[in-house]
Amino acid sequence: MDCKITRAIDFKHEPVAVVLTDQKPEKAKQFKPGKWGCVMFMLAAACKGETAVFDRETFGCHGGGTGLGFGNQYKNFPGGEDCFSYFLSVGNSQWETGRQMEETVKQFLRPETLDHFIHGERYIQSPELVKDFISGLPITDIEFKYVVFKPLKEIRPGQETPAIVIFLGNMDQISALSILANYHRKTNDNVIFPYCAGCMSIVLYPLSEAGSDRPKAVLGLNDISARVYLKRLLKDNVMSFAVPFKLFCEMEENVAESFLERGPWMELVEMGETKKDK
């Protein structure tokens, strides 16, 4: 798929299309069933030209399964939602059931995850607030078997349609995308920036927006853990900008004769921050 936005903004990393399908792509990267993995690993692979696929057995972690649209996988977290609520906040060492679960899970959790299970990731202040966080998520269970990440340039128009297009960019490029998402709308609130897991910001929230008459783009990667993984792989400091396909098409039509052809943007490009060799 040709992309005017890509040509105009000149991203260092290839935009990624998210495709929901019942057909498993051939030779796609995939986590092993039941084995841990982070969705960011597959996002990085797709940015580098590979195709990745997830299903209900290979989403990598409970947050990843939820973030990819495979229902509320926090219910399947060791100890259920209650233990997850302590995991994301103060740690399971803070309550008796959690301490008992520690003995059960230590044999199969990675050392890093076990440490978080015991002492907490501390991303939300309390277990009670984590439960509010979960209840506020746009959790969905998609009707398709697979979620596929692939380079946008490999999308075949007329044969497949992305649900979402994900851009990874520096702050100049994110600024340009934010302006373009608002460029043709009567309101100036067409980009949201929810706190959530990195996978939720690139799939779950954009999928929720896709069902709207006026879908919004989702700025993401305010998840510090996801940033660590992605920065290790891409060696770059980026934010994500996930666009429901309807909005993507609108933005595509507005590239010509927009600010992307005017002086301030050209000056930013000349200053070097948006160049691929940076």
Cβ neighbors of 258 (< 8 A, separation 6 or more) are: 180, 183
**Count of domains for the chain:** 2
Residues 187 and 260 reside in one and the same domain: yes
Count Cα neighbours of 234 within 13 Å in the Cβ-side half-sphere. Answer: 29
pLDDT along the chain (278 residues), means of 10: 95 97 96 95 98 97 97 96 98 96 89 95 98 98 98 95 98 97 97 98 98 97 97 96 98 96 91 56
Task: Answer for the pair 260, 173: CB distance below 8 angstroms, yes or no.
Answer: no
Residues 117 and 147 reside in one and the same domain: no
How much is the pLDDT for 134? 98
Residue 10 lies in a domain: no
Residues 49 and 179 reside in one and the same domain: yes
Residue 3 lies in a domain: no
Residue 276 lies in a domain: no
How much is the pLDDT for 260? 96
Residues 125 and 191 reside in one and the same domain: no
CA-CA-CA-CA torsion sign (14, 18, 24, 29): positive
Residues 117 and 207 reside in one and the same domain: no
The parent domain of residue 105 ranges over 72-136
Residues 33 and 155 reside in one and the same domain: yes
How much is the pLDDT for 273? 53
The continuous run of DSSP H or E covering 236 comes out as none
Residues 117 and 80 reside in one and the same domain: yes
Strands (E), the chain: 16-21, 52-54, 146-151, 164-169, 191-192, 217-220, 239-244
Residues 46 and 159 reside in one and the same domain: yes
